[in-house]
Chains A and B, each alone.
Chain A
Amino acid sequence: MPTDFPKVLQSLTRHEVRFILIGGLAAIIHGSARLTFDIDVVYARDIENIRRLVAAIAPHSPYLRGAPPGLPFVWDERTVRAGLNFTLVTSLGDVDLLGEVAGGGAYEQLLPFAAEAEAFEAKFFCVGLDRLIQLKRAAGRPRDLEQIAELQALLEERKKRAT
């Protein structure tokens, strides 16, 4: 099932979750021509935000992606407080909720490198292009090499347009 990107973002913003969009969808918002199939966000780890995050995701039947069915997984504040990064499958599609990201740290560390964006009738923070490239590189995954090349090309094109 493809991820319903608008509904995920609208659900998070409607519940006033503090989050920063990263990953493939952030790349698309910056101009990438590559497809993505999931949504990645870095969320703030304070108690109130965890409460909002749980409320935003709970109606969409979250479960651990790739885990065998039938595990006693409960999506509640206790689970989120005890964990950090959650790769979930939901009724809206695949959603990655990250308390910290390699090279970028937590929400508070990433926020200075994010800008407000508006898409799919939702307003949210999206990581900046420079930081997005740095995060992709810090992740160190071979499958990201093509994407890093595209993002650097995008950065070059933007610099050309700015001059």
Chain B
Amino acid sequence: MSESTRDPEGRQPPDELNDDAGLAPADAYDPLIEAFKKDVDRTLLRENLKLTPAQRAQKFLDFARFAEELREAGQRARAKDPSWGLK
């Protein structure tokens, strides 16, 4: 492993320290994953962690229904005016 990909906390890359199922630890260091991790909005995660699993599931369902309503509104608008949203 080069210096540029070394984990500052000393974690191993995922192809090392495999368990008996041949899987790397969940927190194994991967520079590619670390690059994506910089863009994770942790404030959302912290808010979700304040909820129970059932509340998290319900919050997701409420949002999924809201997203579906928005999608349907878009469909209605395009049916009424095919050029809607292209201006």
Indicate whether A and B interact: yes
- Which residue numbers of A lie inside 8 Å of B, CB to CB? 2, 5-6, 25, 28-33, 35-36, 103-105, 109, 117-120, 126, 129-131, 133-134, 137-138, 145-146, 148-158, 161
Task: Closest B residue to A134 by CB, please name it.
Answer: B23
- Whether B64 pairs with A2 at a CB distance below 8 angstroms is yes
- Whether B56 pairs with A31 at a CB distance below 8 angstroms is yes
For residue B22, CB closer than 8 A to chain A, the reply is yes
Chain B interface mostly: helix
For residue B53, CB closer than 8 A to chain A, the reply is yes
- Complex: how many Å from CA A81 to CA B45? 40
Name the one of B26, B48, B49 contacting A152, with C-beta atoms under 8 angstroms: B26
Task: Closest A residue to B38 by CB, please name it.
Answer: A149
- Closest CB-CB distance, B7 to chain A, in whole Å? 12
- Whether B54 pairs with A118 at a CB distance below 8 angstroms is yes
- Complex: how many Å from CA A146 to CA B68? 23
Which of chain B's residues 30-53 have a Cβ closer than 8 Å to chain A? Answer: 32-34, 36-37, 39-42, 44-46, 48-49, 51, 53
- Complex: how many Å from CA A100 to CA B14? 22
- Whether B36 pairs with A149 at a CB distance below 8 angstroms is yes
Chain A interface mostly: helix
For residue B63, CB closer than 8 A to chain A, the reply is yes
5 A-B residue pairs with Cβ-Cβ distance under 8 Å, sorted by A, are A109-B21, A126-B53, A129-B26, A146-B36, A154-B45
Known A-B contacts: A6-B61, A32-B45, A153-B42. Give 19 more (CB < 8 A): A30-B56, A31-B48, A31-B49, A35-B67, A103-B21, A105-B21, A109-B21, A119-B57, A126-B53, A133-B26, A134-B24, A137-B24, A149-B39, A151-B26, A152-B27, A152-B33, A154-B45, A155-B26, A155-B27
List chain B residues, Cβ under 8 A from A103. 21-23
List chain A residues, Cβ under 8 A from B75. none
- Complex: how many Å from CA A161 to CA B49? 9
- Complex: how many Å from CA A118 to CA B32? 34
For residue B60, CB closer than 8 A to chain A, the reply is yes
List chain A residues, Cβ under 8 A from B61. 5-6, 120
- Whether A29 pairs with B57 at a CB distance below 8 angstroms is yes
For residue B58, CB closer than 8 A to chain A, the reply is yes
Task: Closest B residue to A161 by CB, please name it.
Answer: B49
List chain B residues, Cβ under 8 A from A35. 60, 63-64, 67
